[in-house]
Amino acid sequence: MAKEKQVFYCKECGYESAKWLGQCPGCHSWNAFVEEKITVGAQKHSSGKKNVVAPTSILEVTTADESRIKTNIGELDRVLGGGIVKGSLVLVGGDPGIGKSTLLLQMCRNLVETSCGVLYVSGEESPSQIKMRAERLGTFNKDMMLLCDNDMDNVSASIQKSKADVVVIDSIQTMLVEDISSAPGTVTQVREVTARLMQLAKTHDVAIFIVGHVTKEGTVAGPRTLEHMVDSVLYFEGDNSNGFRILRGVKNRFGSTNEIGVFTMTEEGLKEVDNPSQMMLNGRPVGVPGSVVVSSIEGTRPILVELQTLVCQTNFNMPRRTSVGVDYNRVNLIMAVLEKRAGLNLWGYDAYVSVAGGMRISDPAIDLGIACAISSGFKNKPIGDDVMIVGEIGLAGEIRGVSSALQRVKEAAKMGFKTCIIPKSNYDKAMDNLDVKIIGVSSLTEALSLI
């Protein structure tokens, strides 16, 4: 007998609970639990014999040469790990309006050009709306198939009939499985739809891209609830104001993670950025205290970015610390090290740290850059415009080695920087051949005395 049961899900991460909770124990977000009714015992116990699959030895498993379909959007191919893998399920998440549909439509256009079967399923827009957008993006081939439906049974039948190699589902939150009583976009629905798509992808060897909106309000389940089910997860970042769009791979079963692709939004859709460092440094102020250029490894390539800080006196007892694009706790820790080990009396000063260009950086190699920028802002002395700084800071005030130092220095040399301050332990003979002056430092005070 099927029985209806009431459960609560976190719409951010999908955490399941029998009762409502204020804060999610899984992802610590507040007020994210929503009530859903699920039917238990209905789908199970189907009659008939089950197919029993016997285990095989790993040596007997044959692998077909992993063939990838190139999308001809270089930055997207890079994030996917060299192209689309057949039979994979890829989740593309991001805020509404960031450009998910645009990117995938552009991808579809390129794919049909290379005579690859494509089906674009939209539950959000009508065919004429899609056509209007497509016209802005360029000319489309007649093989580009559209389907505007949100019933999962119909979609599933169409995918099987179309024999497409690549399918786009825009968006997962609009798709509906009728056997489930809850509304489209709820955790139960999006999980069930994804599970069905996964099965379709694996049994019919078709690559499926799922669009998932990140929403802050309402009861719509976010893409994080699906991360564990899919093969790859790509997130679109960047704020709407500056036109940058960064596509970051946070999970990839077929390639390296944390790889990024950089785009700009133009009148004719998304354009690739060939030289992200140049883009990030564009419009950099010259000779201003508190500004420094650091290098962050994103996936496999180094990107130069500008860090800006503002340090100003406050009359309040509790100075204010704000960070945009870098970890807040990391900034506090670096400020504590600056006070204790370098004798900078930062108490009584507000400090604001931000990464220019809307990037988010988690590479610890930017520590020394943050410290130098804060010190520069505090002393009101600018750091040279042609200086690039990398290094991780330890609690004792020592400068620790960073990964891929040579690559970072090479990128700085390519971008015309004249001096690189790096950890002493990272010095490499190959750096002498480059047209930059290398200064190795082993402590924070040593680094601060240089700038």
Angle (CA) 250 96 199, round 5° = 55
Q: Which residue has the tokens 């931000």?
A: 354
Q: Which runs of consecutive H residues, i.e. helices, occur in 295-419?
A: 328-342, 367-379, 405-414
**Residue 265: which of Mg ion, ligand TYD, none does it interact with, CB under 5 to 8 A by kind?**
ligand TYD
What's 50's DSSP letter? P
Nearer to Mg ion, 83 or 222 (CB): 222
**According to the binding rule CB under 6 A, does residue 247 interact with ligand TYD?**
no
| Number of residues near ligand TYD (by CB under 6 A) | 15
**According to the binding rule CB under 6 A, does residue 267 interact with ligand TYD?**
yes
155 contacts 149 by C-beta, under 8 angstroms: yes
**According to the binding rule CB under 5 A, does residue 189 interact with Mg ion?**
no
Alpha carbon distance 303, 421 (integer Å): 16
Number of H helices, E strands in the chain: 10, 23
Nearer to Mg ion, 24 or 176 (CB): 176
* Partners of 321 in beta bridges: 351
441 contacts 398 by C-beta, under 8 angstroms: no
Query: Mask of contacts with Mg ion, 223-262, x by CB under 5 A?
Result: ----------------------------------------
**According to the binding rule CB under 6 A, does residue 421 interact with ligand TYD?**
no
Alpha carbon distance 247, 270 (integer Å): 11
Closest contact distance (angstroms) between CB of 269 and Mg ion is: 13
**According to the binding rule CB under 6 A, does residue 241 interact with ligand TYD?**
no
**According to the binding rule CB under 6 A, does residue 179 interact with ligand TYD?**
no
Closest contact distance (angstroms) between CB of 396 and Mg ion is: 50
Choices 75-83, 93-101, 340-348, 386-394; region in contact with Mg ion by CB under 5 A: 93-101
Burial of 287-303, coded b for 16+ CB within 10 Å and e otherwise, reads eebbbbbbbbbbbebbb
Nearer to ligand TYD, 263 or 417 (CB): 263
| Of the candidate residues 32, 90, 98, 116, the single one contacting ligand TYD (CB under 6 A) | 98
Position with the least CB separation from Mg ion:
101
Structure-token pair, residue 450? 């240089």
Which helix (H) or strand (E) covers residue 449, if one does? Answer: helix 444-450
| Of the candidate residues 5, 136, 216, 320, the single one contacting ligand TYD (CB under 6 A) | 136
**Residue 94: which of ligand TYD, Mg ion, none does it interact with, CB under 5 to 8 A by kind?**
ligand TYD
| Of the candidate residues 101, 122, 174, 189, the single one contacting Mg ion (CB under 5 A) | 101
Closest contact distance (angstroms) between CB of 223 and ligand TYD is: 12
Choices 70-78, 90-98, 253-261, 432-440; region in contact with ligand TYD by CB under 6 A: 90-98
| Of the candidate residues 222, 249, 269, 357, the single one contacting ligand TYD (CB under 6 A) | 269
**According to the binding rule CB under 5 A, does residue 323 interact with Mg ion?**
no
For 370, half-sphere exposure in the C-beta direction (CA atoms, 13 angstrom radius) is 33
Range 335-339, long-range pairs (CB < 8 A, 24+ positions): 335/374, 337/371, 337/393, 337/395, 337/397, 337/444, 338/371, 338/374, 338/375, 338/444
Q: Which residue has the tokens 């010095």?
A: 427
**Residue 269: which of Mg ion, ligand TYD, none does it interact with, CB under 5 to 8 A by kind?**
ligand TYD
**According to the binding rule CB under 6 A, does residue 265 interact with ligand TYD?**
yes
Alpha carbon distance 326, 356 (integer Å): 11
| Of the candidate residues 25, 96, 138, 348, the single one contacting ligand TYD (CB under 6 A) | 96
Alpha carbon distance 139, 340 (integer Å): 62
**According to the binding rule CB under 6 A, does residue 248 interact with ligand TYD?**
no
Q: Which residues of the chain form contacts with ligand TYD (CB under 6 A)?
A: 94, 96-102, 133, 136-137, 265, 267-269
Q: Which residues of the chain form contacts with Mg ion (CB under 5 A)?
A: 101
